[in-house]
Amino acid sequence: MQEISLEELLEAGCHFGHQVTRGNPKARDYIFEARDNIHIIDLVKTKEGLESAAEFIKSLALRNGSLIVLGTKRQAQEIVGEEVKRAKQQVANREDNKIYHVTQRWIGGTLTNFSEVVKNFKKLKDLTAKLVNDEEKSKYTKKEVGQWLKEKQKLELFYGGIVEMQGIPDAIFVVDSHLEALAINEAGKVGATTVAITDTNANPEIVDYPIPANDDATGSVKLIVKYIIDAWIEGRQEGIKNDEKNKKVKEQEDAKKASDALKGQKKQALATSVLKPKAMNIKEGINEKKIDPPASQASPPAKQSEAARARALRAGKTEGKKPAKKATKTVKKDK
């Protein structure tokens, strides 16, 4: 992040405060002296406050936080709009660029009554979609379409810069904390961090990151807002690079886990293919043992064989006797 010098702050007119009679007693720690009945702000304190605030904004963008830039005074409206537009254009991934802006009147309850404000966001989106659709417009009269257009312009004036906001922002950067005291109070109630330019007429104690500087001079406002937006852009770009790096690391880890799991499955399949034949052989051996009868049961077949032999011998004897009988018969016939 580029360092800012005291000379740049001096040339921009950041050291000019308000009249002594309009000064806030709580801002005396940031006042260098009073000259010609005008407070002179200590630029060393301005530099410290600006660098501290920029460091916080950078860390917020790095973790993809959300930020509202608020500048409704005439000197800040154009500057804030241009710088926020530049921040959205320079960040590669615009979908994750959660920076919003308000350059018109701050609507009370934007943060503390966000659930109701979201309804106006939806209404604005619906009206925009209707006015773009010619087929939808043809169903209504010109007077009704004209009322839609007026309503859209009114809503866009107040909510155009924050219509895409999905929830309570993490932080709010305010130009002129004295003028935007309502926004500062709302941010404190909802827990949003506040960063603000605090002039000598403002109370710096209600701001988390006060930047003591002139909030009326165009040069001062432009220098500070540009420095804060540069910090946001730098942090967001680093955050996107880190996200891509982490994504690649995660993909590599997932691929490694998948390959390890595949190797484990192959080893397990190889082990089962080796052990399965052995298990089959063991089972076959067990089955053979179960089929073979024991020695005590092997005797009956032997007995059966002896009986068969005895029957065979008897059959042989009977066959030998029959021919003898025939011979006697033949002899008798001869006689």
Radius of gyration of the chain measured on its C-alpha atoms = 49
- Does residue 15 sit in the same domain as residue 102? yes
Residue 334 maps to a domain: no
- Does residue 96 sit in the same domain as residue 129? no
pLDDT mean across residues, the chain: 84
- Does residue 212 sit in the same domain as residue 98? yes
- Does residue 20 sit in the same domain as residue 85? yes
CA 250 to chain centre: 14
Q: Measure the CA–CA gap between 157 and 103, rounded to whole angstroms.
A: 9
Is pTM, for the whole model, over 0.85? no
- Comparison of pLDDT for 314 and 44, the residue scoring more: 44
- Comparison of pLDDT for 84 and 258, the residue scoring more: 84
Residue 263 maps to a domain: no
Amino acid making up residue 283? K
Domain range enclosing 191: 6-108+169-240
Instruction: Write out pLDDT tens, residues 112-151.
Output: 999 999 999 999 999 999 898 888 888 888 999 899 999 9
Which ranges of 63-202 does DSSP label H, i.e. alpha helix?
A: 74-90, 114-132, 134-137, 142-159, 181-190
Q: In degrees rounded to 5, what are phi and psi of residue 303?
A: -60, -45
Q: Measure the CA–CA gap between 15 and 122, rounded to whole angstroms.
A: 43
Instruction: Write out pLDDT tens, residues 205-252.
Output: 999 999 999 999 999 999 999 999 999 999 998 888 887 777 778 777
Residue spans of beta strands (DSSP E) within 143-269:
171-175, 193-198, 209-212
Residue 1 maps to a domain: no
Instruction: Write out pLDDT tens, residues 281-291.
Output: 665 666 555 55
pLDDT for 200: 94
Q: Measure the CA–CA gap between 146 and 153, rounded to whole angstroms.
A: 11
Instruction: Write out pLDDT tens, residues 313-325.
Output: 777 655 554 444 4
- Does residue 42 sit in the same domain as residue 175? yes
Residue 74 maps to a domain: yes
Q: How confident is the model at residue 91 (pLDDT cuts 50, 70, 90)?
A: confident
Q: In degrees rounded to 5, what are phi and psi of residue 69?
A: -105, 120
